[in-house]
Copies of this chain bind each other. A is one copy, B any other.
């Protein structure tokens, strides 16, 4: 097999993949006189078009992806990304328009923003949305800043933010970046927020509780209303991490549960593709009282059209240039319009059906720390395999690669040791679900019969297990010309 080198290793003078038209203005010398101009960009590559195309085509084939198969990365909602959404989003009217264009020349874009804000408000049961944040984490930061700004307005931003121990790492990190000290709230034996612990910690110094619902175990916080009451009673806000909205669309609405702020990931629930790690989009929805604090600008109706409003004195300001990851938002609109009210409900229903089908099919072979009913995902652990055969979740994950499926999320949430977090989403076929279940079942058997095979997995991939320790101990983060 051809192992594709780095482009730098095949670069050479005299090759090229690009030419510009000849300069059509009189050439001037010394335009940069007095400034430091570089005569060359050292080691910058130079290759032919066929080499470029083969380079990326070959490399592409070393990626697993949703279009190739099941991708049960828990918490990431790796659903199918509809092709029509890709098509409509590259319309020249969208991609060519400059964000500083006069408003009357970009009415279509402004309408897109408004339509998505309105749809998300209805779906989440919130009063207003901002689409500016680029991803979930930036949504969290934005949401927490909005809360803080409001509290400041009331005279005291407070000191603490409460976060369950099952939460995603971005939650504490975002709260911290917002100037808060994080306090962890314990999970109870159901894997949900321990109400007692919460009540104890929820003081007048706490700005907010950041809760994920359904939480990272896939368990719905049954007492969410009580939780909201506890938080509200002390003048705090309830922040919901909406990463798991895929379990709830059309079924129930965070706004109806007492949630004050929520972020939603368009790259999860609303099918925009993950792109190998972004771009995403992390819109933030708020209740009325918090709307004045949302980032500027806001899209507003102006006459028969739309406009941008910048003059919002209470706004936290900007977290991103312009209006966020606009072209991602376009795709989400296409998705929402394709699904309609019934389709939106159906995604949640089938996501939950698929996850429970997997859970039920594997619960003999893999340990479930929490047996609470779950919705759109389920978190197994490697306990059976580890205790008896020394086989870890890592070994199981790597062995799945040999079977041709992407492994689940590992080692998250932290409250499940050796976690295997499985989120199938609603778009999987029965065949691909069964293929995964069969692979997992076989692996459970292999753990008994031949654990060494698992520990050495994967066996058939382009590279085998990589030395991550060496990578971190002695970081090589770029190519260096061995000849220089």
Contact = CB atoms under 8 A, between A and B. Distances in A.
Interface of A: 1-2, 10, 48-51, 53-54, 57-58, 61, 67-69, 80, 82-83, 404, 427-429, 431-432, 435
Contacts of A49: 80, 82-83
Given A1-B404, A2-B404, A50 B427 contact: yes
A459 to B, nearest CB: 12
Contacts of A2: 69, 404, 435
Chain B CB within 10 A, most for which of A2, A432, A435: A2
Copies in the complex: 2
Contacts of A61: 61, 68
Contacts of A58: 68-69
Nearest to A47: B429
Contacts of A428: 50
A427 B58 CA distance: 17
Complex A-B, nearest 10 residue pairs according to Cβ-Cβ distance, in ascending order: A50-B80, A57-B67, A1-B404, A50-B427, A2-B404, A51-B429, A53-B67, A57-B68, A10-B431, A58-B68
A16 to B, nearest CB: 12
Given A2-B404, A51-B429, A54-B67, 10 more contacts: A1-B404, A2-B69, A10-B431, A50-B80, A51-B431, A54-B69, A54-B432, A57-B68, A58-B68, A58-B69
A101 B235 CA distance: 71
Contacts of A57: 67-68
Contacts of A50: 80, 427-429
Given A10-B431, A404-B1, A429-B48, A68 B54 contact: yes
Contacts of A1: 404
A68 B51 CA distance: 10
Contacts of A48: 427, 429
Contacts of A83: 49, 53
A113 to B, nearest CB: 26
A2 B69 CA distance: 9
A429 B10 contact: yes
A80 B53 contact: yes
A275 to B, nearest CB: 16
A69 B10 CA distance: 15
A265 to B, nearest CB: 20
A80 B17 CA distance: 12
Contacts of A67: 53-54, 57
Contacts of A51: 429, 431
